């Protein structure tokens, strides 16, 4: 996963198209190098986070940081159809390269084709002795998130109580 935090001189997306995007939390552009952006709402700051995962992140990972920033800005510019003067308003950018981070080495768990039962199997207690929590063991739809990790911990704790 690659994230680029893009700081602009102003929150241009709040201004264009008569303020239509003022309340937007996410922008999606499936065909772009960076397909997802999010704002800092409820904070109103001129910052967008560009996100790419999977094969798109692997491709971007081969590029140098300035090229990654250019790709993020180009993705955003195409998303808004050239409105907002995206390129000229960029003030600073920070790239977070999680595949190459020695303490992360990747991102979240994912299920391969045909693995729709995998999370439930992973979360199955062993001999009423070992109980499993963690985002990968959440099967209620919040996997890959802190919320999923917390929910799986509560679920595992309930299983321990039920067995005592
Ligand atoms: C780059 C990135 C961005 C993310 N952004 C978001 C976000 O914006 N919002 C969101 O909700 N989620 C986000 N997530 C996902 C979220 O961080 C995880 O889903 C969550 O932290 C998982 O919690 P966990 O307790 O399952 O695992 P972890 O937080 O990974 O905890 C596992 C712990 O076990 C320890 N450990 C591993 N092996 C051993 C061992 N053998 N012995 C002892 N300890 C061990 C590890 O050191 C670690 O401390 C992001 C993840 C990444 C990588």
CATH code, 77 = 3.90.660.10
Residue 134 per-residue DSSP state: S
Q: Which residue among 66, 97, 128 closes a domain?
A: 97
User: Which residue is closest in CA terms to ligand 1's atom 33?
Assistant: 134
pLDDT, the chain, mean = 93
Please give the residue that has the higher pLDDT: either 106 or 63: 63
Question: Measuring CA to CA, how many Å separate 101 from each of 2, 8, 104?
Answer: 11, 26, 5
123 and 91 co-located in one domain: no
- Does residue 103 form part of some domain? no
User: What's the domain count of the chain?
Assistant: 2
Token reading at 69? 């920033």
Judged by DSSP in three states, 22 sits in coil
91 and 152 co-located in one domain: no
Q: Is 84's pLDDT higher than 80?
A: no
Q: Which residue among 40, 62, 97 closes a domain?
A: 97
Backbone angles phi, psi at 84, to 5 degrees: 90, -10
- Does residue 153 form part of some domain? yes
- Does residue 102 form part of some domain? no
Q: Is 65's pLDDT higher than 90?
A: yes
Closest ligand 1 atom, CA of 136? 26
Ligand 1 pocket residue status of 134, Cβ below 6 Å:
yes
Q: Is 107's pLDDT higher than 80?
A: no
Position 100 scores a pLDDT of: 82
Q: Is 88's pLDDT higher than 80?
A: yes
pTM over 0.85: no
What average pLDDT does this structure show over 118-122? 97
132 and 76 co-located in one domain: no
- Does residue 9 form part of some domain? yes
132 and 68 co-located in one domain: no
Per-residue model confidence as pLDDT tens digits over 27-51: 999 999 999 999 999 999 999 999 9
CATH code of residue 152: 1.10.10
Ligand 1 pocket residue status of 105, Cβ below 6 Å:
no
Position 143 scores a pLDDT of: 92
What average pLDDT does this structure show over 120-134? 96
81 and 39 co-located in one domain: yes
- Give the span between the Cα atoms of 95 and 16, in whole angstroms: 26
Domain range for 124 is 118-163
């Amino acid at each position: 996963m690659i994230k680029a935090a893009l700081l602009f001189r102003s929150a241009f997306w709040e201004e264009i198209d008569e303020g239509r995007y003022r309340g937007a939390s996410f922008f999606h552009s499936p065909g772009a190098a960076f397909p997802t952006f999010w704002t800092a709402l409820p904070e109103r700051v001129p910052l967008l986070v560009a996100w790419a995962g999977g094969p798109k992140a692997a491709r971007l990972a081969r590029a140098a940081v300035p090229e990654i920033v250019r790709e993020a800005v180009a993705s955003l510019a195409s998303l808004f159809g050239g409105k907002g003067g995206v390129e000229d308003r960029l003030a600073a950018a920070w790239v977070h390269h999680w595949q190459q981070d020695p303490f992360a080495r990747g991102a979240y768990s994912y299920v391969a084709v045909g693995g729709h039962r995998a999370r439930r199997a992973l979360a199955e207690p062993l001999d009423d002795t070992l109980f499993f929590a963690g985002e990968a063991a959440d099967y209620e739809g919040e996997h890959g998130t802190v919320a999923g990790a917390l929910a799986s911990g509560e679920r595992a704790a309930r299983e321990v109580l039920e067995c005592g």
